[in-house]
Structures are given as C-alpha cells and as structure tokens.
Structure 1
Amino acid sequence: MSLSIALTKGRLEKKTVAMLDQVGYGTQNLKDKGRALVFEDTIKPVRYFLVKSNDVITYVNHGVADIGVVGKDTLLERESGNYELLDLKIGKCKFCVASLPEKKVFNKVGHVKIGTKYPNVARKYFLDQGIDVEVIKIDGSVELAPILGLADGIVDIVETGTTLKENGLVILDEVCDISARVIVNKASFKLKREEVLQFVQDLESVVKSDADTNQ
C-alpha cells in the first residue's frame, strides 16, 4: 500500500529529503524536479508533493496526503485534527515577542497592540499572561510595525535575531521553540498503520543518529 506525503516547500523540503536519503528512500525525482510538484519515489511505494506550509495541513486534513512534514509554527497557528507523531529536530527557531527597547510592552496601561503573521499564537500568549491585547495581522515585514507606531511590539519567528537587530528591535520574551513535525491523517493511521509507522520509524532513526553524532 503506497503513501502520499506532503512536504513543505523550501528549506524544510531540502532538509527532509536529506533525511530520507539517509534511510534509503529514492528521492532523485525531488532533486531534479524542474517545475513538477508531484514525484514518485524511485525505490519505495511513496508519492511526494510540494505545497506551502498551510496547505500541508489542508491536504492531510482531507486525507489527500497520508503524512505531512510541516513547521510547529503552522500547527500552533492552525487547528489540525491530525496526529503529530515525530519532532524532526530540523528547521529550529523560536516564537519571540520583540519591540524597540523603549517600548513598555508588558507594562503598558490599557491594551497592548501586537503586530504579527500569527494572530492566534500572539493572542493566546498575551491572554495567558493576563494582558489585554489587540492583535494586528501583518503579512509582510512585521518589524516595521513598532518602528512606524502601528503596534507596541511584534510576535514573530526568530532564527538568528539578525533582522531584529538590524532594525533596532530587541527580544523581550521567548514564546516557544519551533521545529518541523511529522503529522498523520487519522484515517490513514488506521488504514495504513504499518506503512505509516515504518515511515515514522525510518525518520526517527535519523533524528536519533543525528542526536548521537552531536553529543
């Protein structure tokens, strides 16, 4: 029985393919892809397709993909009715609260305005802190929001912090760690349990091997 796997385009895709290579999957078609979006594994009964991170959840939700590889940031922002079976330990970064040094985000009288691409994550974080928040959805460079006075601060993904520093922003708090996760459609887990678990175990062996190497 074959598996359909949705991969997040870009850096996660390349890192996931590198992991699959380590455990004997035939990923050559993914490396020589041109403009194609659907690829057959050349060794195992697996079909891959490349989509944006939000769409990974959509395809897995609807059972078009049995398995998806997607960042925890996307899973936190969107409700996913799927099983999360494995942390791949790749694509590591953090959700952070940041602003200009002079902004009193946590001590402001009245509600605080927060600019973000992740309104659900931001809202939950501030409500958990007991802070009244107005979340402003921004699709572009969120760093501009406090600089131009649109917001008191931002909630965004931070990998190195370089972009924040270059724009004069500082990290005020770390919300949570983020990395790529393997998610599985619930029906697929029942119908293709053996195949799904084998795929997860294959990737888990790479995660453990990399952890041992880095110790």
Structure 2
Amino acid sequence: MSEILTIAMPKGRIFEEAAELLRKAEYKLPPEFDESRKLIIDVPNENIRFILAKPMDVATYVEHGVADVGIAGKDVMLEEDRDVYEVLDLKISACHLAVAGLPNATLTDVAPKVATKYPKVASSYFREQGEQVEIIKLNGSIELAPLIGLADRIVDIVSTGQTLKENGLVELEHICDITSRLIVNPVSYRMKDQVIDELVERLSKVIGG
C-alpha cells in the first residue's frame, strides 16, 4: 500500500480546472468531489487526501508540511515568497496582473496611491519603473478604490477584463502573466519522492509539459 499524499487545493475556479486536470491524468476522483462542501476530502482508492483552502493559504499549508503538495496561482507565489519548490506550470486558470484605473484620471500627486491585495508585487513593479507610489493594502473589491477616491490606480488580477469594464476602469499597464503551479514541500519531496514524481509525470503528459 503506497503512502497517502496530501494535496492542498484552492476553492473556486482553480479547484474546478485542477480537478479536471487530475481526472485527465487518470486519477479516479468521485463524482461528488466537485460538489462537496467538506474542507478535507479523502480519496482512499488513490491514497490522496485533499485540503480545500483559500488561494492565499495554499502555499502556507505546503510550506508548513500539513500538505505535501499544493496548487497555487503564480500571483500567490510572487506575493507570498514561501519556502516551497515550484515544480510544474499546470497552465490552468490563465490571467494576468495589471495596473488599472479610471480612463481620464490625471496623476498630480508626487506619490500616487495604489490599492491592491498584492502589496509586495505592486511595490516591486513600481520601483522597477522608477515610480514612487503609496501602496494601500485591500483584501477585496479592489475596483472600488478609484471610484471612491481611495486610490489613483489599482494592481489586480485581470482575466476577461469584464469586471474592470463594468466599473468604468481600464487596464493601463500589463505586469505579468499568471497561471497555476504545482508546488511541493521540500521535506515531502525527499520522503515521498516516488509518489510525487508520479504525480508530476502524469500531469506533465496531460498538459504537454
């Protein structure tokens, strides 16, 4: 009997795409897997345990070893800087990080205010551009910040651009492309190398990596 592999997965869109990817890699996940509201789901026939978490928490679970591997967006990896191995680009949940704002807004401040839930990424980006900005950390509804005068610009994830459009905002600068990555706890990689290597190999075949 092979050892149990614990995988941390984010809820939402990434979860759905990752579950489909695992099925294509011939992991037999039960039909009710997708509808389950449980936070821990055991799949005994595959010797896998899934932990469902908020996207920003997946890398934390993997770093601390409560999960052997995880699926995390590159945006999380750039922002969190966790002690994990990034072993595979899963090429799912593609989007990008961008600077956005009101279309005709003039930036008169010496240090424009930028609202974001990615303060580290935003600070680094504007520093590289030679711009001095004031970062305002928000956890949600980032698009609201320019509309109520809290910030001049925002840095956020853009997928279709529909949310920006609906709130009267436009994309001003493209920062970087984002996809979901398979990440591994360094200790688990040594202790469970065979089962993790098998996971990587099976997923690689499916995504053409």
Q: Contact 1:27 / 1:42 at 8 angstroms: preserved in 2? A: no
The code of the aligned residue for 1:153 comes to R
Partner of 2:135: 135
Percent of matched pairs sharing the same residue: 46
Q: What runs of 5+ residues in structure 1 fail to find an aligned partner?
A: 210-215
Q: CA deviation at 1:119?
A: 1.0
Confirm or deny that 1:183 pairs with 2:183: yes
* Counterparts of residues 100-111 of structure 1 (less than 5 Å): 100-105=102-107, 108=108, 110-111=110-111
Secondary structure, counterpart of 1:131 in structure 2: coil
The code of the aligned residue for 1:145 comes to A
* Counterparts of residues 15-30 of structure 1 (less than 5 Å): 15-28=17-30
Q: CA deviation at 1:189?
A: 0.7
What TM-score do the two structures reach when normalised by structure 2?
0.93
Partner of 2:40: 38
Work out the CA distance in 1 between the residues paired with 2:138 and 2:60.
22
Q: Contact 2:16 / 2:34 at 8 angstroms: preserved in 1? A: no
Partner of 1:155: 155
> Which of 51, 54, 58 matches 1:52?
54
The code of the aligned residue for 2:85 comes to Y
Q: CA deviation at 1:125?
A: 0.7
Secondary structure, counterpart of 2:46 in structure 1: coil
Work out the CA distance in 2 between the residues paired with 1:148 and 1:36.
38
Moved more, 52-61 or 182-191: 52-61
* Counterparts of residues 41-120 of structure 1 (less than 5 Å): 41-105=43-107, 108=108, 110-120=110-120
Partner of 1:212: none
- Per-residue CA deviations over 1:17-55 (Å, capped at 9, x if unaligned) read 111111221210662653322222243222112111122
Work out the CA distance in 1 between the residues paired with 2:132 and 2:57.
31
Q: Contact 2:68 / 2:188 at 8 angstroms: preserved in 1? A: yes
Q: Contact 1:60 / 1:184 at 8 angstroms: preserved in 2? A: yes
What TM-score do the two structures reach when normalised by structure 1?
0.90
Question: Quick one: structure 1 residues 102 and 92, their matched pair in 2 at CA, closer, same or farther if it must change by over 3 Å?
Answer: same
Work out the CA distance in 1 between the residues paired with 2:144 and 2:58.
29
- Per-residue CA deviations over 1:119-141 (Å, capped at 9, x if unaligned) read 11111110111111100112231
Q: CA deviation at 1:102?
A: 1.7
Paired residues, number: 207
Q: CA deviation at 1:169?
A: 1.2
- Per-residue CA deviations over 1:91-127 (Å, capped at 9, x if unaligned) read 110100011122245xx55112101111111111101
Work out the CA distance in 2 between the residues paired with 1:93 and 1:145.
21
